[in-house]
Amino acid sequence: MCNSILDELEELVTKYIHDEINFYDFKGFIIGKSNTLNNYINFKYDLVMIIENWFEYVEFCYFEKNWEEYSLELGIFLIKGIKSYPEEAHLPSDSIIVKEQFSRYLS
């Protein structure tokens, strides 16, 4: 199952990069898989909450021209988290979303 979700996620990220899907499809897929992703990523915080809030912040706090970049940060984090399992995954510390939105929560 881990390879299946990883393959789906990598395909989704590739499609998003190549503009084959839009932000809402990307968001919907990842939020829809958040409980499953939680089983394959060792993350000490509530991953489902992080995923849902990440997309809310991207959509409502930042310009649309930045949505792809900021959404891809989450997608890449999830891919790396699955690949490095059982090691603990960490959100990208250089991400503007992490710095501006999650720094209080993750402290």
The Cβ of residue 9 has, within 10 Å, a number of other Cβ atoms equal to 21
Q: How far apart are CA 11 and CA 81, in angstroms?
A: 16
Dihedral angle over CA of 72, 74, 80, 84, nearest 10: -170
pTM equals: 0.93
pLDDT of residue 104: 79
φ and ψ of 42, to 5 deg:
-90, 95
Q: What is the pLDDT along the chain (107 residues), one digit of tens a residue?
A: 568 999 999 999 999 999 999 999 999 999 999 999 999 999 999 999 999 999 999 999 999 999 999 999 999 999 999 999 999 999 998 999 999 998 877 75
